[in-house]
Amino acid sequence: MSSEVMAKRWGKPSVFRNDRDPMFGSGLVMVEGNDWVRHRHIVAPAFNPINLKAMASVMSESTNEMICGWSNQIKMGKPQIDVETEIITLAGDIIARTIFGLKDHSARDVFHKLRALQMTLFNTNRYVGVPFGKYFKVKKTLEAKKLGKEIDHLLLSIIQARKNSPNNKDSQSDLLGLLLQQNNHHGKALTMRELLDECKTFFFGGHETTALSITWTLLLLAMHQDWQNQLRDEIQQVLAQHNHVIHLAMLSGLTKMKWVMNEALRLYPPSPNVQRQARDDIQIDGLTVPKGTNLWIDVVGMHHDKELWGEDANEFKPERFMEDVNGGCKHKMGYLPFGFGGRMCVGRNLTFMEYKIVLTLLLSKFSFKLSPSYHHSPSIMLSLRPTHGLPLIVQPL
């Protein structure tokens, strides 16, 4: 079945589209039908591993800057680090640099405003989908609109500057450059507004989820020193085979790290649910899902279901992924950290690369232990995150 037909059968619930408009606008996550097909054709090639290759050095540079900061802090006798905050800031820097190619921290302003927008939109009990619900929380709704406009303004000036200097030699090696290039060759190019919304979607979708996958992994490794050591050994071996240079071929040799990543994404999926809306009456196993029905797929629940995973469903066992990319799950749709079908996450190659680079550098420098002040309380604020951060005791090797 063509992607065009598939896109028509299942869509994204409109109730979220309205609610999340200040954050994603008409970006790929939200668009529908033939518009989605057009956006996806333009956006997807930018995330091809060959195109992402050039971003490895940016990721290593930003991570090394963070490592320097941690080393200084440890030298001053403060080995406890709130790893969640640090990794989210790092991922924000990395995504700003991979989208816009910016070498400095000038996109941090966008980053801070996006975080504020997220707090405004998801930190309170709201009335999503309730008719006139936005009038019950007028102050929050207006605040979100204002922040959305400020972010648009900042992004617009960055994109305009890039459009006006297309010969910039770095412009082919960042996401915006690749997007503009692809857009120029497409019969139905994205408008300025749509380009802006794509950047906003990459910015938000691209930093928080990746950061959380690394954060939850560090928690799991701090609790499972055996796996921390196994990964460190693997990193040393693979780096030695590649003259201690981090590049795509080197990263693909990190097999155990891939199992650990899959297992962390199973236990703590940063996107804890996936939504769909039936565009037509759809038949599934003799059951009719009426047109307009919203489906809310509880990914966290599915990933912990003992009927699908066995009695050890709640245990950290990366070896489940040794021989099966689905981790031995009894149902082929039971493991969905990146969603499914044509709308599956477009940025997952970028995440794989960033995850492996950051962990390679961190595990080569430090060991991690859980701090006694850590309080385990995962909560959902659009993403699945540790409510009280992740304080770890970090020691140089």
Tell me which residues touch ligand HEM (CB under 6 A): 28-29, 40, 201-202, 205-206, 209-210, 213, 270-271, 274, 337-340, 343-348, 350-351
Question: C-alpha dihedral over 22, 24, 25, 26, to 10 degrees?
Answer: 180
How near is the Cβ of 298 to ligand HEM at its closest, in Å? 12
Smaller CB distance to ligand HEM: residue 38 or 108? 38
Determine how many CB atoms are found less than 10 A away from the CB of residue 256: 18
Q: Which is nearer to ligand HEM, 299 or 393 (CB)?
A: 299
Q: What's the rounded Cα separation, in Å, for the pair 17 and 375? A: 34
Cα angle 232, 236, 238 (rounded to 5 degrees) comes to 115
Instruction: Give 141 or 213: the residue with its C-beta nearer to ligand HEM.
Output: 213
Nearest approach in angstroms of CB 205 to ligand HEM is 4
96 or 361: whose CB is closer to ligand HEM? 96
Q: Residue 28 or 158: which CB sits closer to ligand HEM?
A: 28
Min dist CB 156 to ligand HEM, Å, is: 19
**What is the nearest approach in angstroms of ligand HEM to the Cβ of residue 214?**
9
Give the integer Cα–Cα distance in Å for 327 and 259.
9
- For ligand HEM, the closer of residues 42 and 235 by Cβ is 42
Closest separation in Å from C-beta 299 to ligand HEM? 7
Question: Residue 68 or 344: which CB sits closer to ligand HEM?
Answer: 344
As measured in angstroms, the least distance from the Cβ of 182 to ligand HEM is 14
**CB neighbourhood size of 125 (10 A):** 7
Rounded to a whole number of angstroms, the minimum distance from the CB of residue 244 to ligand HEM is: 26
The nearer residue to ligand HEM, 217 or 228, going by C-beta atoms, is 217
Closest CA to 348 of 250, 255, 259, 262: 262
- From residue 324, give the alpha-carbon distance in Å to each of 273, 297, 355: 23, 23, 20
φ, ψ of residue 54 in degrees (nearest 5): -65, -15
Any bridge partners for residue 82, and if so which? 391
Q: At closest approach, how far in Å is the CB of 270 from ligand HEM? A: 4
Neighbours of 255 (CB within 10 A): 12
Q: Which residues contact 207 (CB under 8 A, 6 or more apart)?
A: 88, 91, 92, 94, 95, 111
